[in-house]
Amino acid sequence: SSEVLEAIENVIQGVLQSLAQKKAPVLTVANRADWRNIEFKDSVGLQMVPGCTTKLIRSDCPQSARRFALMLKILSMIYKMVQSNTYATKRDIYYSDTLLFGSQSVVDQIINDISCMLKIPRRSLHVLSTTKGFVAGNLSYTEEDGTKVNCTCSATAVTVPSNVQGIKNLSSHAKFILIVEKDATFQRLLDDDFFSKVSPCIMITGRGIPDLNTRLLVRKLWDSFQIPIFTLMDADPHGVEIMCVYKYGSVSMSFEAHHLTVPSVKWLGLLPSDLERLNICKDALIPFTKQDENKLASIKRRPYIACQPLWKKELEIMAASKLKAEIQVLTTISADYLSRVYLPNKLQFGGWL
């Protein structure tokens, strides 16, 4: 915490020095959304280059003066929380003054900018994200406040903890981890008691694009157990994108890649080649939209696809057919085909990429 306080004090000192010299204070923030600032490393995923381009948030410029003020406001809130060892969610910060902040996304962006500017992970700033992910299966752990959580005996899923860093005593006999893209598929597998039927496993869903806590938990489970991690996604560009976030990280959070990415993640399904192999009826597939075409073209250009020839092949199949499929398409074969046949076969015969 002393490191965090010192980093904030240095920023404020810079602001005061500028004012003392009758200059307009400026905050320098890395350009997080620029692909030119990102390098791809097999062992880490997407990470920010050391000498990346920056943008200046000036206090004397109408376009950025408000953002400058909001950054100082949130820095002061973080400073107080670190000093008093209290925590707040991003939502709490927004609701502390909704008129001032204007929207939740403004708060989210500023907190990420501050984390990147100070080079301090967000959870060390005492800012927690609201969790939307779920975990189930063969796993137990103790939360920071001493609460014991046992996902094994729970018939329903457990919410991913809001302070993943603080959980300890992780225990599991799982043979693998299955990341499921969607909540509906996750719940279906839960109802089918999938995680105990095939072999003990841990199931996680970020319910779409994963939040920070879900990604932190996947990473923590990988660090703790070093067991295979598989993904079950829709056979569409959006599903591939979500899988890439777990495996290689995202551009906007590349400054935190070391805590978030798990490059060993494998693509289990739904593969575009599975649709042909299983003779899925063309009528059950969904035609591409213009947005899908653009998303797929952008994914194919990314640096990590070059080192994944088998993934590239699947993306070519998808691009050629211009058709996509949701995991639920397997119910056209039989209602429990996913948990009874598809996943057990894939896991037994190594049907992943």
Please identify every residue annotated as catalytic: 95
The two three-digit tokens of residue 141, written as one number: 């752990």
3-state secondary structure of 276: helix
In the DSSP assignment, the letter for residue 263 is T
Query: What's the one-letter identity of residue 316?
Result: E
The two three-digit tokens of residue 199, written as one number: 């072999």
Cβ atoms of 100 and 170 closer than 8 Å = no
On the 0-12 / 13-18 / 19+ scale of CB atoms within 10 A, 191 is exposed
Distance CA 192, CA 30 (A): 47
Distance CA 120, CA 255 (A): 9
Closest CA to 57 of 47, 67, 49: 67
Distance CA 143, CA 158 (A): 12
Edge-to-edge, what's the strand order for the sheet holding 148-150?
A: 148-150, 140-142, 168-171
Cβ atoms of 209 and 261 closer than 8 Å = no
